[in-house]
Structure 1
């Protein structure tokens, strides 16, 4: 009890001392803390910030490869572009692991270090005749697949209807080139509908994937009407609707199991050729590249669309995908095959099925997806440079 009283007494003495000190400072003319806000001087020196043209790759808001962001869907917007990057964060159509709705944001994050000269293709796609912009993600209602697909188609049509820069290339009737960040592979169908509508003709589609994506809904989805459109059948519908060329469209990298052997017969009837992943053992990388060009035919008057499912790559190098299949291409093989198509008029491309939640901490898959887009963007720009028509 004595100790407690001593503590109370000590606290009381401290309060009295502090109070006395407070009055002592007031007597010297200092402003007490309780007297209100301190008046700041009217003018004060402010540092001048030095601006530098160099921005670290890891800094800034995540647009693809630091491209300028443009609100492409604003009514009355008049800004023009030659290459549009858009996101389609749709994954309503997956049949195994979900998460591709986060693909666009993951790919943009993985692209931050990309902003320079492509040594293999000999061009800097960011310092050229082409104005490229990132339009952000297509807004759509994520609960009804067919309604969402209609929205993706409409927004894509609007993107393609915007005028090109007057002083630049008049190829393709001035229709901008399109790069779409998926999303699951279902988005290929509404995008091809918009692309075919804009160009007024079917496109030669090179489909890089471990799966055929030509399932017949009449066979595999008889009872489930809501799953008529999913990531396993966009090319079935695209062929039936006349969006793809017959005989000059193909699959590359196929290696998954099938429901039955008739899947191949049905696929061929839809007009597709096939190059399997295991063909690399007999044809080699150069042989696969040549086989693709043999199927496509002459470069003149051929409009090519590239659809890249990230699972075409072996999951050891691209684990972040919904339906991984072992035995795929290596990343350097894929990049080589893509670059071999530089003489073709690539009017659009997508990278789909990137699901960042399944990636490693090293972001292997999103870095790869961004690099594949960089290769194709470089080819688009180089083709335009070699075939530039100034209006």
Structure 2
């Protein structure tokens, strides 16, 4: 390995070829591992091609963080393979696996993002894959408890020692990026965030409101006046539940990409009463990306703690068919990414990419690829936010 390094420094192809020949024929190469340093072994065996290696997100190191609470990190990828709160097509429990596989062409070696001027995997943040929450598919009450406990535990983890006391306060607390799973995973995440930051703003990209009262799914089997019923917990009601639990900051939250059918205009009136503003799919044409993004940032503010929630069905099903509740007429993948890049001034303390359902994806895995790219853009913006001299978040409500 030292011969190869020296050859590269000299800069000649013939020298490199000669170094290879000498290395291959050296006695050292015939004696497995004898004389090799850790640096040598990492350089020789420590990288993967996009198609090789264990399937973690972007080939990141993997720790089962829920079993290793002393693990320090700055940003964690966490899978939430849960889909038994869906209203139409199931299958998003396989979303984390599909998004991880689709991220295989990302790596710390080759993930420089020109728009931000950084590589999110090789900057100030220690980014790891925390694996999946083992969530039961048989009992939604237990599943919600498992997810709430898991997110709360991880939200109280420690940032790396170098960043826990950084002058850039955005670095002081670890951040979570969840791979869903159906969209109901937002409720346990918001519960966890509230224990750290108090109520947070939600910036929500979706074809659907997800603020519906559970009685919008009428049934003679339920009492619409009883908020404790387990059937009230769905991927279309979790923000209604979060509002009732006072987890969402008042008049700071935004929907974007909406185009769903409603049960009536009362759906929008109820949404407004919960403190949301709405941007439809068509607004991207009428306002343009720049203006739409600016209005989102101006409404939320750059210091308010934000939960960024991306339902992949905000993208048109012609481009992202692998989802549970597809709605024709959505944004392109490029439009979504352009908006995300334009709102990178937001103080994102946690995020998700949800509703990827690979059983309905195309042979080219385009929905999973879109999910992986969106996750990469979110990671980039998190790391950019934490750069020295960047915007800083308000002080957290509690010290951990």
Structure 2: 5+ residue runs without aligned partners? 1-28, 34-40, 223-228, 393-400
Query: Is 1:179 the equivalent of 2:156?
Result: no
Map residues 160-239 of structure 1 onto 2, 5 A cutoff.
Answer: 160-168=155-163, 170=165, 171=169, 174-199=172-197, 201-221=198-218, 223-224=221-222, 225-239=229-243
Query: Is 1:96 the equivalent of 2:88?
Result: yes
Change (3 A) 1:219 1:258: closer
| Number of matched pairs | 341
1:341 is displaced (CA, Å) by 1.5
Partner residue of 1:113?
A: 105
Greater radius of gyration (CA)? 1
Partner residue of 2:11?
A: none
TM-score, normalisation: structure 2: 0.82
Query: Is 1:148 the equivalent of 2:133?
Result: no
Contact 1:85 1:134 in 2 (8 A): yes
Query: Is 1:334 the equivalent of 2:336?
Result: yes
SS state of the match for residue 273, structure 1?
A: strand
2: CA distance, partners of 1:144 / 1:387: 47
Q: Deviations over 1:324-370 (max 9, x none)?
A: 00111111111110011222221110011100011111110001100
Contact 1:359 1:365 in 2 (8 A): yes
Map residues 262-273 of structure 1 onto 2, 5 A cutoff.
Answer: 262-273=266-277
Q: Deviations over 1:77-115 (max 9, x none)?
A: 422100011100000111111100000000000000012
1:376 is displaced (CA, Å) by 0.6
Structure 1: 5+ residue runs without aligned partners? 1-44
1: CA distance, partners of 2:241 / 2:186: 10
SS state of the match for residue 350, structure 1?
A: strand
Map residues 292-307 of structure 1 onto 2, 5 A cutoff.
Answer: 292-297=296-301, 299=302, 301-307=303-309
1:226 is displaced (CA, Å) by 3.9
Change (3 A) 1:47 1:360: farther
Query: Is 1:139 the equivalent of 2:139?
Result: no
SS state of the match for residue 205, structure 1?
A: strand
1:175 is displaced (CA, Å) by 2.2
Contact 1:207 1:308 in 2 (8 A): yes
1: CA distance, partners of 2:173 / 2:243: 23
Contact 2:87 2:235 in 1 (8 A): yes
Partner residue of 2:284?
A: 280
1: CA distance, partners of 2:47 / 2:234: 44
2: CA distance, partners of 1:63 / 1:137: 11
SS state of the match for residue 249, structure 2?
A: coil
Q: CA RMSD in A?
A: 1.8
| Greater CA drift, 188-197 or 167-176 | 167-176
Contact 2:158 2:164 in 1 (8 A): no
Q: Deviations over 1:252-301 (max 9, x none)?
A: 0000100111100011001110000011221011121112112113x1x3
| Greater CA drift, 53-62 or 246-255 | 53-62
TM-score, normalisation: structure 1: 0.83
Contact 1:157 1:198 in 2 (8 A): no
Match of 1:127 among 104, 122, 127: 122
1: CA distance, partners of 2:361 / 2:31: 43
Contact 2:216 2:263 in 1 (8 A): no
Contact 1:94 1:322 in 2 (8 A): yes
2: CA distance, partners of 1:149 / 1:172: 28
SS state of the match for residue 346, structure 1?
A: strand
